[in-house]
Structure 1
Amino acid sequence: MPPRDSYPDGAPCWVDLTTPDLAAAQDFYRPILGWEFQDQGAEFGHYTMCLSGGQPVAALMRPPEGAGELPPLWNVYLATSDLKAVHDRIADAGGSSALGPHEVPGAGWMAFAFDPTGASFGLWQPGAHKGSALVAEPGAMCWHELNTPDGATADAFYRELFPYIQQQIGDGTEFDYTTWKVPGSNDMPVCGRYRTAVRQPYWSVYFAVPDADAAAAQAQQLGGRLVREPFDSPHGRMAPVVDPAGARLTLCQLP
């Protein structure tokens, strides 16, 4: 597929990993996802692009100075064509801003915030950097979901930021999952929200792999661990893992 150069407002468009050891992260992700890496240099804090087939699909970064004991985490950025307007709605909707709006010279504008349930998320208004150039291909992101114990509060908050059309999956009690669509997404969900009893809510990222079982075995050999054994779902074969530093992700063999 040709490289992707745009995302509708509200769609996850980019991910980066906050991790204390960039070299160790590269050693883990390179063989599993087939990535090459491109250090952006000291000027950008050695922010490191992850490339699949020469195309940017994710990035690695060290915790910002002064961030304290920030846990290793994959950060998910939601696309916006008007970052300031979305950012200005965060506090009124019950969230809190952590950073921004902030220009990334030559790339775009970003902000970082927390939703009312405690999950962190990013906002990205593209300049030269449009987001992940590949989606739903081996080595690239293929799904994102918010994991939180308070689904109703989360759904309401994000509806204040973007024109999400949220559809309940399951009965909403024993199994509570909503899929989120936005205008411009061709009536396809762009992400989801899963109500689950996590102590620290978080946005999760799924990366496509050719073989989930082989990728899961490789992750363990490289110092990661399985959250659960690979399993089949209507959307592919899934392998939730934790990398050696403690960041969570899901490896997905698409149908």
Structure 2
Amino acid sequence: MSAAPEGVTGAPCWVSLMSRDLGTTQDFYGSVLGWTFRSSREEGFSIAVAGGAPVAGIGAVARTYRVAVSWTPYFAVDDADEAAARIRERSATVAVGPIPFGRGRAALASDQDGAVFGIWQGHRPHWSVGRGSAPAWLELRTRDTFAAAIFYAGVLRWATEGEGGCDVVYKSDQVIVRDSSHEVAGISGGAVESAPDPHVRPRWHVYFRTPDLDAAIEAAQSRGGVVTQHPHVSRLGREATLRDPDGGLFSLLTG
């Protein structure tokens, strides 16, 4: 994450996969999504590239930090220490950091229901969800949509008058997060007014766009991936959910 400062404070500014084996992970996503990879300044990390532009980070750190293999979104903050304090004030957890990383500072946290996310203070890539090489969509799947929206709004300063950050709107039983120009993430967990769903395992979910969903699924299965939700049509387009050989969940989207 070492490009010129871009993006909106409070908006997702990067996604990173915490994996166990860098080589196996690169082979899988290179085959499924056509990514190439370049080395990072940080040992054990690489940058996925598509069309010459950065897509995501991959780090073989799951064992080091004793965390599950997962795709994790990072959100831009102006002060990582202040944002970490706001997380703790809301009875959530800061598991790692803030620590120096590359040309900034990062922390890994989980919200009150256990969904893992990161915060990033520093230089931001020219990268925005739904645009260019970045992921197509981010979605928090949680038990209580309204409570989650209040938590992230407080931590990331969403919908704060005069600060130039992200706005939130309610749309089709989702909380939709907008940066200055377009929608970048959603929070879903049933109707906003409904009781929390105890069966939902809260997590942030990443969608990547592919021109050929069936070919990408075939490539994933040939490299040890598993389809957990078969192709179907949603409001986003035609999509499927997969698990990579290391256990990381993600969705593919076309249309």
The two structures share one fold, judged by TM-score above 0.5: yes
In 1, the alpha carbon distance for the partners of 2:34 and 2:129 equals 15
Shift in CA distance, 86/55, structure 1 to aligned 2, threshold 3 Å: same
What are structure 2's unaligned runs of at least 5 residues? 160-166, 191-196
What are structure 1's unaligned runs of at least 5 residues? 171-175
In 2, the alpha carbon distance for the partners of 1:235 and 1:119 equals 22
Q: Is the counterpart of residue 190 in structure 1 residue 184 in structure 2? A: yes
Shift in CA distance, 137/208, structure 1 to aligned 2, threshold 3 Å: farther
Q: Look up the match of 1:71.
A: 68
In 1, the alpha carbon distance for the partners of 2:95 and 2:21 equals 23
Q: Is the counterpart of residue 119 in structure 1 residue 115 in structure 2? A: yes
Deviations 1:147-199 (A, max 9, x none): 112323211111112224433333xxxxx4221224xx22x222111217555
Offset of residue 206 of structure 1: 0.9
AA aligned to 1:222 is R
Which residue of the other structure, out of 166, 169, 179, is the alignment partner of 1:167? 169
Percent identity between the aligned chains?
A: 33
- Contact 2:12–2:129 (CA<8 Å) still a contact in 1? no
Offset of residue 133 of structure 1: 4.0
1:1-255 to structure 2, matched below 5 A, reads 6-40=6-40, 44-63=42-61, 66-68=64-66, 70-105=67-102, 107-127=103-123, 130-131=124-125, 133=127, 135-136=129-130, 140-161=134-155, 162-164=157-159, 165-170=167-172, 176-182=173-179, 185-186=180-181, 188-195=182-189, 200-253=201-254, 255=255
- Contact 1:57–1:131 (CA<8 Å) still a contact in 2? no
- Contact 1:223–1:243 (CA<8 Å) still a contact in 2? yes
Local SS of the residue matching 1:37: strand
Please, which moves more after superposition, 79-88 or 136-145? 136-145
In 2, the alpha carbon distance for the partners of 1:33 and 1:65 equals 25
- TM-score, length-scaled by structure 2: 0.83
